[in-house]
Structure 1
């Protein structure tokens, strides 16, 4: 979760993957340990995923 917070607040673009698909982190829920993400190719494809399933490239 700590790294997710850093990525969200970073001025740099950091590539994050969810099951080998590049995503953008919109927000996060510390209590649920989840992040709301969308695919980089489709901003309308919103989903809540476990932070543990995200990988940084």
Structure 2
């Protein structure tokens, strides 16, 4: 995924499915300078991780 698409997903009113290495995650924050994002596992109050945005994958699905 690129930085611009990650920003669109973060700001979207829809809940767009994003995975990090096959795990569904929430994008919580984006650092454009480093091309990194803060994510947490969807559905679980897990610890936040800082990951490369290009490691995020949009699945094309929407959560309801």
The residue that corresponds to 2:38 in the other structure is 36
Moved over 4 A (4+): none
Task: State how 1:36-55 maps to structure 2 within 5 Å.
Answer: 36-55=38-57
Partner SS state of residue 27, structure 1: strand
TM-score (norm 1): 0.94
Higher relative contact order (CA 8 A, sep 6+): 2
Question: Any unmatched runs of 5+ in structure 2?
Answer: 60-64
TM-score (norm 2): 0.84
The residue that corresponds to 1:21 in the other structure is 23
Q: How many pairs are equivalent?
A: 57
Question: Any unmatched runs of 5+ in structure 1?
Answer: none
Select the residue among 8, 11, 34 that pairs with 1:9: 11
